[in-house]
Structure 1
Amino acid sequence: MSIGNSPEDDPPFEDGRSEDGHEEEARPSVGRALQQARIAAGLTVDDVSGATRVRIAIVHAIEADDFTPCGGDVYARGHIRTLAKAVHIDPAPLLARYDDDHGGRPAPTPAAPLFEAERIRPERRGPNWTAAMVAAIVAVVGFVGFTAFKGGDSDTTSQAAQGATPSASKSAAPKPSNTDSATPKSDPSDSAIAAAPQDKVTVQVSAVDGRSWISAKDHNGRMLFDGLLKKGESKTFQDSSKVNLILGDAGVIQLYVNGKKIQDDFRPGAVERLTYTKGDPEVG
């Protein structure tokens, strides 16, 4: 009996016979092979469990060739590989024996795209205070302009005539030609950058060369956006101090931070984690 092992850990018979007197197979089972290797290494079940973080009950079950507690073939094969390394034997023959006894090797699971590994579970969104703030600023500017226009109507005739000149110029402006109509319209998010307060950080993300998954959070870790940005689409994010970004394919993305274009050399397919703060564009 090895020191530190319970009596049931020792081989039942040294002559290759089981308790009922029948000869065992020339090649031991997976569980028996692991148990013999553990005993030969002078390790107890507690030692193996502590080294591999596999629960004691599961180690006992595997050594008894009961793989039900593992939860399936994939997990059973993983436990076999881990225990074999812990007792210093090659796991390949044991995995082959397990596959023979359980209907062959399980089908591999398809690999997810690179950026899916970086994906963060979206949080429940709250009120969009950024949009409300921009709308309020636009409303104030519009009200001031409307008040000034109404005040001009009550001035003298000469003042009214002078005020009418810009309107006439606007009405007489020629319609844009076909060449002008082909020019892309500015993204609505550009106005959001222009109207953003100076004491905030504003980040515009545009997918110019393809599509990319992006994730954006504010300084409190609250999710601002988590999804796929298609080619030609843009998103604008704003926070009082910091915006955290994850770009799934940074090579197709163009960034504007606080109204300034970010010159980057991101490689196509590269995953980038970026942090920008208010003031001049600063990346963390």
Structure 2
Amino acid sequence: MSIGNSPEADRPSVGAALQKARIGAGLTVEEVSTTTRVRIPIVHAIEQDDFSRCGGDVYARGHIRALARAVSLDSRPLIDQFDAEHGGRPAPTPAAPLFEAERIRSEPRRPNWTAAMVAAIVAVVGFVGFTLFTGSGKSGGGPVASGDANAKPAPAPARHPSTIKPPVKPEPSDSAVAGLPKDKVTIKVTARDGQSWISAKDANGKLLEDGLLKKGESKTITDKERIDLVLGNAGAVQLYVNGKEVKRVGDKGTVERLSYTRGDPQAG
């Protein structure tokens, strides 16, 4: 179904078109909300052409797409109409060339000087003990040297700790995964490059988290079985699932719907 060919004067509003298509499809607001994971009050507001509860034009476009898809309506004319009535779509800001490289660059590992010092002390003590043991063994069967019989042999010079190489640090295991409970799903969302709207539900549809995440803020969500996640402005989000980073969540300005269970993160 499309409204793109309707005369400008007779064309219904975006909300009216969505409401008419929903009624024509025989769906209730509750059923559309369950399918799209757009909250019932927001669905009602959009159908009345009130987009103030969406959290911004980016989220409003995402909700329009989701609602249009649920009622088998072409969303492109609706988005164009929305942009025309709300000042148009802002020009996308190009990402910095080094953004991806900086995001995946790992932090340099610092040398473990404490372990190096402990190893140096153990080596020195062991060397001195070995020297004293072998020296006393050799002198026990031979003649006593001239001079003071009670004179103790001089200890061997200790090696300076700086001349001892620190032990090679093994490659780190998945410590982030090992530190998390394996019988739960754990998701951490950070609005790294801009604000984002998030909504999370468990496998039974119970709402775990819902709201606007401002830039720099983080949310950690857990569940025993499964988490169904909706992210607005997905390109601005840094996402960790069960301790592992999901490298690409989506593009800026898009709404992504993801589902995760226990184990390695794989979007459902």
The structure in which a higher percent of residues are helix is 1
**TM-score class, shorter:** 0.3 to 0.5
Structure number with greater CO (CA < 8 Å, separation at least 6) is: 2
TM-score, normalised relative to structure 1: 0.42
TM-score, normalised relative to structure 2: 0.45
